[in-house]
Every structure is written in structure tokens, then in C-alpha cells.
Structure 1
Amino acid sequence: MSVTLRTWLLLVVILCLFIAIAVYKDAAPAAPAPPSAPPSSGQKNVQDPAYTFGIIYPMAHSFYEVITQYAEKTAAANSVQLLVKAPEEINIEQQIQMMETMIKMRVDGIAIDPIDPDALIPAINKAADAGIPVVCFETDAPASRRSAYIGPDHYKSGAYMGEIVNKLMKGKGMVLVESGMADVSSQKNRLTGMLDYLSRHTEIQVLEVGYNEGSSDKALKDMERMIDDHPHFDTLITLDILSSTASILLWKAKGLKRNVVSIGMMPNVKEALINGQMTSVISQDEQVWGDDIIGQLLHTVRGESAPSHINTGVREVTKDSLE
């Protein structure tokens, strides 16, 4: 056999060996994958919120936006998902329906500023029966099974407002008053506290009290009419956020130079103070309500002790104090 033929045969043998090895590797069973961890039943992913809380306002208004901003920050820091709802305008039936929806969703806690505390009692108690704690803020529903109330004593807030008016007017003069809903306990108590203070400690005459009943348009019309009927008044007092906002529009339109004493800090109120369209504002430290709402609900759902009333108090804000 020639050398050339032997060389070719050797090459053929080597090639066959390589083919055999490759076929064996492809046919060999793959090494088993390491066992995966069994799925955990009932455990939440890291991304899932620890709790879901609902906040229900009496209406959509800039006054409540600041509360929401603070609530969202505190919620995010505590792995809480927030559901924020409010009727476009004051509407008791819609607020009750929002409560019912959150109960069906099985949220972990609800905070509500009830338009009519008595009308909301069945819904609040239904949530409590379902194991969902309810916190009231700004307006209380003490006859319900709510777990806590966040906000001031409204009678004392009204008396404090009377004290501010007395200081401003030096105990004499004439005032016009625009309030909110005549039958809502928080607004009724605020008005009573102010009127009691003025009658007991001053010679200030209350010319007229109007009620906007939850309507911004009615608040504006009430104040326009009262000003026309009593042109010699010295001070306008507004006791709810709708009246306060309407008074700013009225003062801008009429260019009036009378005193305005209002309640409730909002961005437009702050601007009105700086521009001289308001004289004094009674703040309820609304900006901390968001923190208190989330904190109170967290304490409750965790089974921790918590106060049944967080009194946020009131303080006067003026242009000078802002500066």
C-alpha cells in the first residue's frame, strides 16, 4: 500500500471518530436544572403595597389638594397605596356611594370628611363591620363607629375667630357673615362659637348671616346682596372654604377696601393675603392632616394604640406673619 493511500485512510478514520463523538454529545441527556423555589401562597411581591387606604373628600377643591400631597408623601414612605375620591360638588349620595365602593374593594382603611355625619353613619358602621377602620377628619361623626377624629374643636375655632375680629375692630362696628351648610355640625358649631364670643365680649353688630348650602354661586350672590343691602359694614367674615374663595373674587371685582376674615389656608387665600384682599385667615393647620390621616390608619391596621382625637388646633395667619 502506498504512503498516499495510508494517509487518506488515516484521515478518514480520524473524521469518523470526530463525528461519533459529536453525535454522542447531542444524544446525551442534559444535566437537570436546579429545583426552583416553590411559589409562596399569600405572600406579596416586594413591589406590592403593604396596605391600600382610601380618602374621601366632600368635594373637589384646591383646599384638599395640599392635604392629598402630604398624604401621598407619607403613604409612599410606608408602602401604602392611596385611592383619593371626591364628588365634583357637594353631594351626600355620591359620598355614600364612594364609601360603598371602597368597602366592596376591601381596602385596608378609609379616611372621610363627611358632608352630613348623620347620613354617613350607616356606611361608616358597615365598613367597621367589614373590619375596615374609618377615620373622620375636619368633620366628625361621633355617633358612628369611626376609630378616630382628626381636626379642631369647631366651637373653639369659631370663638377664636370672634377674638380675632374683636382685636381687628377694637370691639365695635358692623359685620356680615357668610357660612356654609346650616345643618352640618362642624360649620354650625363654628358659627355658634363666633356669635357667642361677639355677643359676650364685644359691641360688634352682626348685620346678617348667609348660608351658601354648599354652592359657590350662592355664596357669591349672598355676599353681593348683603353688601348692597348693608353698604356701611366694616368687616366680612367667611366661615367655610367656598365663601372664602368667593370673597376673593368679589373683592377683586368690586375693589373693596374693607376687612375680610376667613377660615382655611389655600394657595389663592395666601395670594389674597399678600395682595391685601384678605385681612386675616384662621388656619387649621390643614397641611398636617395628610400626615395624621396616614399615621392614624397605619396605627389602627397594625393594632397599635392611637388617640381617638387628634386636635389640630387653629392659628391666625396675616400678611405680616407670611412675610
Structure 2
Amino acid sequence: MRRHKKFCMLWMLLLFTLCSCSGAAPIQSEWGHRAADTSYSDAAAMKRSDPLVFGIIYPMAHPFYEKITESIEAASEPYPIQLIVKAPDEINLEQQIRMMETLMKQKVHGIAIDPIDPEALAPFINKAVQSGIPVVCFESDVPGSERYSYIGSDPLKEGTLMGQVIDRELNGKGMMMIEGSLSGSPQQSQRLEGILQYMRKQTEIQVLDIRYHNGNSELAIADMQHMIDAHPHFDALVSLDMISSTSSILVWKSQGLKRYAVTFGLTPDVKEALLNGQIHSVISANEHLWGDKIIEQLLAAHNKIPSTNWIDTGYMEVGQRDIPNPY
């Protein structure tokens, strides 16, 4: 009997010791579901105390990019990821380059950038990649660089669709004006080329004026007012970028214009303007998909999965009928 009690006490002591030892070891947490198509096989081996740090660089601070940040945060939530989000107050190439250099010095694990000037940023993208930091481009591409992949649509085809939309609304005849931000932007140049090619081949629509505001919203408003004064009988205005579209909304409100206004990019203020009738149609690059794709591509690049080069998010026309009315 005494031996039996002693044996039980020894057995309980052994169990307590084993449990204590196993509890002292660090516990590796699961990441949850994987991002689509990343094949991130060692996800469960990563610890939440050791997060991956990804930098996100926008061309400027804007409510549109705040929505993109929200989608990136949602996509990264299942993973041990820390985000560093940067954006110049307004379009500023020098600031964007400094932000790129800062992230390189911080030795982040990956960078996603919407480049202001692809040619100027190519050397900095290459420098990051050569230092072991993969770079993903979104919205605007830097095809001549060593970037891992590009997330976005084909701007030439976006422009062609815009031409078709204007042709439909004006019945192939009329006069239009165009406002953009940067004349040297490959994205906007290709959008414009798609529009002009379609107009020349398929319509009798005349392009009265093309202006650029270089990222200055006050200049964009002044440009539009000057064009309206110079061409009071115009039929349509095309905005090639977000600043131009926001400025056109303000001009339409202040002047009570009923002319046809179209733009690229489904920003929060454009959604409201669609409902209110200041904007009539938008060409969207399916921006709601960018957050998932950015995290997917950064994880894939970090895991050294071969690049798919271009993640085509497609494009579509969005009109008033496609926006749910919150009222």
C-alpha cells in the first residue's frame, strides 16, 4: 500500500514536470488561410512576434488611397504583417524617392509602390531589389525595372473603353476637352492615346483642348474654367486622374453645368458625384481588388515564388445605376 502511494506520487510529479517543460516552449501560431496563389507553405512556422514588415508608398495623400489602405489592412490581418504606409501630401517625386530610400534603410521585407515617375523611380526600385527587398508596383507600372510584378489594368484599353463611352453618349459627334495631371505619366499618356485613337477612327468628335495641372488642384480648377470660357459650347469633359475628377466635380457644382463629365478611378467623391449627377461615367480598374493582390504578391515575392509579372485586375465602366443609393 505504501509502495502504491509512492508510485502514484512519483507519477504525478513526472506528469507535472512534463507539462511545465512543454508550457515553457514558445508556441508558434497559425496564420489562418493563405493568400490566394501564394503557396506560402511555411506560414505556420512564422511567429506573430516576428512580423514581416511591408512598406506601401502612394503618389499622394487622398481619400481614394485611404480606402486602398483599408483593403490592404484587411488582406494582411490573417498574417503576422506590419504595414508602414507613406504618401506625400501632394504629388511630389522627390518626396516619394526619399520615402523609398527610408524604407530601404529600415530593411523592410517588401515594398508596394504606385510610382509617380516610372523612369525616375526605376533605379531606386532596382537598388531595393538588389539589396534583397522585393518591390511590387500597382496602378502604374515600371516595366523596365527589376520589380517583382505589376498590379493593375491596361491603360490603353481603359482609354479605348472611355472613347466608346463618350461615343455612345454623344452619338459620334460633338466637342470634348481633357484634363490630366502629368503629361509625362505613361499611364495617363496611354489612357489619352486610347481615347484619341478611338475618336479618330470611329467618331467625328473633336478634341478642343488638352491641359495638365502637374498635381496642383487649384491649377486644375483654373484650367477647367479657362477651357469652359474659351469653349462654352463644349459637350464633354474627360478627367484622366483623381485630382482632375475632384476638380471637375467642384466646377460642375459651382457653375451648375449639365454637360457630360467622365473620369478614371472610382474614388469616394466620384461615387457621390455619380449619385448627384456631376459625374456621368467612370472607368474603374477594379481598385477594390488591389489590397488582396498587393499582400498576395508581397508574400509570394518574399517566399521567392516565380513572378507572374502582371496581375491584370481588368477594367469596367461604372455609372449611376451601379452605385447603391445610401438614402
Q: State the partner residue of 1:219.
A: 220
The corresponding residue for 1:235 is: 236
Equivalenced residue count is 288
**Deviations 1:110-156 (CA, angstroms, capped at 9, x unpaired):** 00011001111111011011111000111111111101011111111
Describe the shift of the 1:282–1:38 C-alpha distance in structure 2 as closer, same or farther (beyond 3 A). Answer: closer
Paired letter, 2:174: G
What TM-score comes out, normalization by structure 1 length?
A: 0.85
Quote the Cα distance in structure 1 between the aligned partners of 2:254 and 2:302: 49
Give, as a single letter, the amino acid of the residue that structure 2 aligns with 1:237. Answer: V
What is the match of residue 303 of structure 1? 304
The Cα shift of 1:303 comes to 2.2
Deviation, 1:91, is 0.8
1:93 corresponds in structure 2 to 94
Shift in Å, 1:94:
0.7
Paired residue for 1:130? 131
Alignment of 1:287-298 (within 5 A): 287-298=288-299
The one-letter code matched in structure 2 to 1:295 is E
1:50 aligned residue: 51
In the alignment, what sits opposite 2:196?
195
Q: Percent identity?
A: 51
Q: Which runs of 5+ in 1 are unaligned?
A: 1-33
Structure-2 residue corresponding to 1:18: none
Map 1:250-261 to 2 at 5 A.
250-261=251-262
Gaps of 5+ in 2: 1-19, 28-44
Residue in 2 aligned with 1:321? 322
Distance 1:98 1:82 in 2: 14
Structure possessing the higher radius of gyration over alpha carbons = 1
Greater than 6 Å deviation, 4+ residue runs: none
Cα separation, 2, equivalents of 1:59 and 1:272: 21
Q: Distance in 2 between matches of 1:136 and 1:297?
A: 10
Alignment of 1:174-193 (within 5 A): 174-193=175-194
Paired residue for 1:248?
249
Distance 2:194 2:172 in 1: 17
- Equivalent position of 1:152 in the other structure: 153
**C-alpha distance in structure 1 between counterparts of 2:160 and 2:64, whole Å:** 22
Q: TM-score, normalised by structure 2?
A: 0.84
Q: RMSD of the alignment, in Å?
A: 1.9
Contact 1:179 1:191 in 2 (8 A): no
SS at structure 2 position matched to 1:213: coil
Q: How far is 1:39 from its partner?
A: 9.1
Instruction: Tell me the distance in 2 between the aligned counterparts of 1:210 and 1:119.
Output: 23
Check conservation: 1:128, 1:146, Cα contact below 8 A. yes
